Amino acid sequence: MDSFPALSRSPIDQLALKLGVSRQRLRNNIDGWLFVLPAVIGILAFRFYPVLVSFVAGFTKWDGMNPPEFVGLGNYVQMATQDSFFRLVTKNTFSYVLTKIPFTVVIALILALLTNRHGPLKILFRTAFYTPVVTSTIAVAIVWQWILAGQYGLLNYFLGKVGISGPDWLADTSWALMGVVIVSVWQSVGYPMVIYLAALQGIPEVMYEAAEIDGANSLQKLLKITIPLISPSTFFIVILQFISSFQIFGLIYVMTAGTGGPANATTVYILYLYHNAFGWWKMGYASAMAWLLFIIIGLTTMIQWKLQKRWVFYA
């Protein structure tokens, strides 16, 4: 082919010659890019471009319709020094995160240990515990509104049977956030349970047999073998739980009808961001909040990554 004049070659042949690759390889690369082009366009249009717009909007005063007014770091200064409600919702968010994650990790491990045993019903129990993960958040919130109702709720009914007078969970400022934590743990615990199940099944049985020969009991095997060997999975679960917990929104929005009540006791970061953006049309301020949350999550993840050397053991 090289003996023919350049004008007799097709555009693909000429391009392949310039790039120094075979015609077939260039054709395969072009076909591949054509196949992924719709996805690339979608990512650029619906992911990258909005992220870029939100970053710029964070330095403006903008209602989403009129031309933005550049305010520099004004939105961030307002959050830090002027917006007392921002500090309240940040406190609520950290209270939720630091309460939910330990409960989720401990309960997920307990469920994994129980369902890892041999038995005819283990598949049924695994399915039952995982089902809430794939259940609609709206359906979960509506059902749990009834369960947590103060006077006629199912939870208080059973508490009353053992002599405990349960609170009005979603109407009491002292218990509302805990009520949300209960629902959130119930809905999300199935996924870390599956992660723990995989980790438990990867522990060599010979290690438990050696421990039994040395006279170790069940608690000692759990503390000295199981927990250290599944620590990489624990680290992975904690990271995911931190990221998802900071972004809690749908459950609280439905359970409190979007108010974050009672008395803003369940108003968390994303709910406040939502009200700023789509309730009060403070798009610039909401964008600044979104990027601050990104920084918080990023720093938290980095700190956890640095601290993993102290407690995560890799085989």
Quote the crossing angle between the two packed helices 23-43 and 11-19, to the nearest 10°. 90
User: Region 256-280: what's the mean pLDDT?
Assistant: 95
Q: Identify the residue whose tokens are 């903008």.
A: 62
Buried (b) or exposed (e) across 184-198, using 16+ Cβ within 10 A?
A: bbbbbbbbbbbbbbe
Q: Which of 210, 237, 199 is nearest to 315 (CA)?
A: 199
- Please give the pLDDT value at position 3: 47
Q: Which is more confidently placed, 12 or 147?
A: 147
Q: What is the pLDDT of residue 16?
A: 73
The pLDDT tens digits for 143-185 are 999 999 988 899 999 999 999 999 999 999 999 999 999 999 9
Q: Where are the domains of the chain?
A: 6-57, 75-310
Alpha carbon 91 to chain centroid, angstroms: 19
Instruction: Tell me how far CA of residue 69 lies from CA of 59, 75, 267, in angstroms.
Output: 9, 12, 28
**pLDDT exceeds 60 at position 252:** yes
Q: What is the mean pLDDT of residues 240-255?
A: 95
pTM for the model stands at 0.87
Q: Name the one residue in this structure whose structure tokens are 């054509």.
A: 34
Q: Which amino acid is at 29?
A: N
Six-digit token string for 70: 């550049």
Give the separation between CA 218 and CA 211, rounded to whole angstroms: 10
Q: For domain 75-310, give the fold.
A: MetI-like fold (1.10.3720)
pLDDT at 9: 65
Q: pLDDT tens, 188-206?
A: 999 999 999 999 999 999 9
Closest CA to 267 of 25, 106, 84, 29: 84
29 confidence band (pLDDT: 50, 70, 90): confident
Contact 147/158 with Cβ under 8 angstroms? no
Element (H, E) at 265: none
Checking if the pLDDT of 246 tops 50, the result is yes
Q: What are phi and psi of 60, to 5 degrees?
A: -130, 165
Residue 259: Cβ-neighbour burial (10 angstroms; 0-12, 13-18, 19+): middle
Q: Which of 18-32, 126-140, 255-269 has the lowest mean pLDDT?
A: 18-32
- Is residue 43's pLDDT more than 60? yes
**What is the pLDDT of the chain when averaged over all its residues?**
92
Question: E-assigned strands of 77-200?
Answer: none
Q: Which pLDDT value is given to residue 162?
A: 93
Distance CA 184, CA 245 (A): 9
Confidence of residue 292 (pLDDT cuts 50, 70, 90): very high
Q: Is the pLDDT of residue 305 over 50?
A: yes
Q: Is 1 helix (H, G, I), strand (E, B) or coil?
A: coil
Task: Give the residue from 311, 307, 315 showing the smallest Cα distance to 229.
Answer: 315
Helix axes 283-307, 231-246, angle to 10 degrees: 170
Rounded distance between C-alpha atoms, residue 75 and residue 281, angstroms: 14
